[in-house]
Chain A
Amino acid sequence: MKKYLALASGLLLLTLAFIGWMDSRRPTPIALTPTLTGQPEYCLTCHSDLPEISTSHPVKTFGCVICHGGERLALDANLAHSSMRGGVNPSDLSVVEASCGGSNCHSGDQAAGRDHIQRVMTSVQSTYAGAIANIRYTFGAQPDLKAYFGIATVTDEQTKTGITSLQAFDPSHESSPSIQKFGVNCLTCHLHAQPREGEAYARQTGCAACHATSKHTLSTAIPYTQCNACHNRGNYNLRTMTFEERADHPTTRLHDYYQPIAQFTQCEYTLDCVDCHTRTEAMGDGDIHVNQKSIEYAQCKTCHGTPTKLPRTQTLTDPNDIASTLAMLNPVTNLKLGDTILVTEKGEPLWNTRVLADGTYALIGKATRQYFTFRPVMGSGCTQSGEDQSSAYCHECHAVER
């Protein structure tokens, strides 16, 4: 009996030593108490290697859980991650209100331009309303090109476009096989959708589709490559209702930028998309639009004017002007009160431009920080009539040969 007792005691000591060894292998918990929540979280125990997501969201202020959800005290990966919003992407539109919303954040005051989520939800990048209406009209499912359906149900109570709501598009309710096929093959290019397979299409959903410029980085300095994950990737074949991926393999930016059939000028492939296209064009203006044409308006003349008219300008006098905020979020240029910048036809600030003393203009690339100077059309040798000033006319003379 004493032999057994000694043996069992020895085994128990071994087991206890084993526990001590197991415990010593556990990572030391790293606590963080973000100032916004005041609740400790331990995510950094494993994730201390992640870069700061953006200067606007410092981890010491926000922590991780306020955006990502998850079990803040759990040190087991499965449990800690089990309740995360949107998996790795809390900005997925299905959860974005809980992650990024709130009146102090991105569901804020419309007048102050803080209603980002409403704008994205109603934007054509998210509703895909134009394409859906076009296909349904083409195959006889609706009598006109008005927008009745979007990817998800969306409402706009303060509409300026006359469209108060869109119903969720459900291809299974369509009688035309072509529309059904469109539903299967052609719905990968909106912000709700998971992208197609392949590196060229790699992007997140929701806000991160555009703003996550690299792993765990949010930015308003969005390079054209980010836009190219959806745009310029191929064409819909309306006969077969399939998406035909772009077959060429561009190696330079010039070839990468637009599809082979497209015409464009030097500035259009030297600059990034966001250098000319404004925030309401890209993210929507809070109203439901019938299609892309209804919201997109920046043209050559927005910056260059016409032979008879200079582009609009604005001298900054208000420190709370949206231009100052935008310049602060992406500090590629030191914008000061008293500076004169170009503004679009709708009055949106092109905050990365300047009107120079000699009457010419400068533009600083939002993503590249390159400095460009350019001239107005007025006073140049351009003889194009004042009526025909859309970009297509400019391309007639100024397109780049490929």
Chain B
Amino acid sequence: MRPSFFHHLHPPTIPAAQARWRYTLGAGGTAVFLMLVLGLTGILEAFYYSPNPQEAALSVQTITYLVPFGGLVRNLHYWSAQLLILVAGIHLLRVVFTAAYSRPRRFNYLLGLGLFILALLLDFTGYILRWDEGICYPLVTGTNLLKTIPLIGNFIYRIAIGGGEACTTALLRFYIWHIFGLTLLAVILSVWHAFRVRRDGGIAVPPPHLRTDTARISRNELVRREVLAILIVSILLILLASFFPAPIAPAMTGKPVMTENARAPWFFLWVQQMLKWGDPFAFGVLIPLILLAILALVPYIFPQPADSDIGRWFPKSNRVAQIVVIVITLTVIALTLLALVS
């Protein structure tokens, strides 16, 4: 039987050992599915959302409460976005811990890291689109951080906010970045990332002469596994969306309010926690950028993994990279927990 379009997107066969859940964790594929859900629910939301500062929060209320199944669509969009950050993070850790980033996949590792950053930015801009009382504090804090950058800070701030003040007029910019600029970049990078997976030889495995397990599975089996993952993730998403609605707050009226207990969105809580320690540029911009640079340089500065170690969990030959990434991950988690309890 000639393969369908969907089957044709997959390689005819892939190594059985690297097609297992316990190897891939299903993270990359789940991320793709979540992005599709985000695109679809985002388009549905766009039918009702109004990027006008006076109407934005009210249009979000309209979507949430009045449009048939609008609340469900918005909650699915919200939860897909949160899960995407989580799943993309897991995907990144998997790639590091299985030495899958090594040559020739070094560039694709950078593309993936870029996608992760885009996911964070999309999540943040989407959060701002609520344009209600809950978003003002993180918006002002986040964009004021840009101003602290020496020399070019004010310029970047103007690009991000435009004229006027953060909580009064910046909505349209965030809207365009969210639905157009960042989304377009994410689509391009995603397609590129997937293309490079195939171009770089498919999923990371040792070269043929070093493989201990030569079994392969067909793309029919691979698609079945993907469908199963999609079904499970769909059920999880629907349950999350039904029982844990996305945050919403009263519309901003007149002067924006800076509530004292305001928090950054959860994925930036670790930065918020560091900001309590002192200089906003050092703790809010420089340290996060240094951590990002270390992550980006993982394939380049640490000892190269042995060919036989590619595609195996926690191989000895890239121990240094593993330890560095574990330390960064645990630090970010610890800071997030600190911010949550304080």
- Whether B65 and A12, one on each chain, are in contact in the complex, defined by CB atoms closer than 8 angstroms, is no
- Whether B65 and A19, one on each chain, are in contact in the complex, defined by CB atoms closer than 8 angstroms, is no
- Whether A83 and B253, one on each chain, are in contact in the complex, defined by CB atoms closer than 8 angstroms, is yes
Give per-residue flags for B226-242: 1 if the beta carbon is below 8 A from chain A beta carbons, else 0.
01100110110011001
Of B69, B250, B251, B253, most buried by chain A (CB within 10 Å of CB) is B250
- Tell me if A202 is interfacial: C-beta within 8 Å of chain B: no
Question: Quick check: which of A74-82, A101-109, A137-145, A224-232 contacts chain B, the rest being far away?
Answer: A74-82
A300 to B238, CA, bound (A): 74
- Whether A79 and B224, one on each chain, are in contact in the complex, defined by CB atoms closer than 8 angstroms, is no
A11 to B245, CA, bound (A): 21
A82 to B253, CA, bound (A): 13
- Whether B253 and A8, one on each chain, are in contact in the complex, defined by CB atoms closer than 8 angstroms, is no
- Whether B227 and A5, one on each chain, are in contact in the complex, defined by CB atoms closer than 8 angstroms, is yes
- Tell me if B173 is interfacial: C-beta within 8 Å of chain A: no
- Whether B231 and A8, one on each chain, are in contact in the complex, defined by CB atoms closer than 8 angstroms, is yes
A2 to B251, CA, bound (A): 49
Within 8 A of A (CB), among B23-65: 58, 61-62, 64-65
- Whether A29 and B66, one on each chain, are in contact in the complex, defined by CB atoms closer than 8 angstroms, is yes
In this complex, the interface size class of chain B, counting residues with CB under 8 Å from chain A, is 20 to 34
- Tell me if B221 is interfacial: C-beta within 8 Å of chain A: yes
- Tell me if A18 is interfacial: C-beta within 8 Å of chain B: yes
- Tell me if B225 is interfacial: C-beta within 8 Å of chain A: yes
Min C-beta distance of A167 to chain B, whole Å: 26
Given A73-B65, A73-B66, A75-B66, check contact A22 B228 (CB 8 Å): no
Residue among A9, A79, A83 making CB contact with B248, cutoff 8 Å: A79
Give per-residue flags for A3-47: 1 if the beta carbon is below 8 A from chain B beta carbons, else 0.
011001101100110110011000001000000000000100000
Residue among B65, B225, B232 making CB contact with A75, cutoff 8 Å: B65
- Tell me if B249 is interfacial: C-beta within 8 Å of chain A: yes
Which B residues touch A73, using CB under 8 A?
A: 58, 61-62, 65-66
Min C-beta distance of A214 to chain B, whole Å: 29
Given A1-B225, A5-B224, check contact A12 B231 (CB 8 Å): yes
Within 8 A of B (CB), among A284-305: none
Given A8-B228, A19-B72, A29-B66, check contact A71 B235 (CB 8 Å): no
A1 to B239, CA, bound (A): 24
Given A8-B228, A8-B231, A12-B235, check contact A71 B250 (CB 8 Å): yes
Min C-beta distance of A378 to chain B, whole Å: 60
Min C-beta distance of A90 to chain B, whole Å: 14
- Whether B224 and A74, one on each chain, are in contact in the complex, defined by CB atoms closer than 8 angstroms, is no
Residue among B58, B235, B248 making CB contact with A11, cutoff 8 Å: B235
By beta carbon, the residue of chain B nearest A16 is B238
- Whether A18 and B65, one on each chain, are in contact in the complex, defined by CB atoms closer than 8 angstroms, is no
Residue among B72, B235, B238, B251 making CB contact with A83, cutoff 8 Å: B251
Residues of A within 8 A of B (CB): 1-2, 4-5, 8-9, 11-12, 15-16, 18-19, 22-23, 29, 42, 71-76, 79, 82-83
Additional A-B contacts beyond A8-B231, A23-B69 (4; CB < 8 A): A22-B242, A73-B61, A73-B66, A74-B248
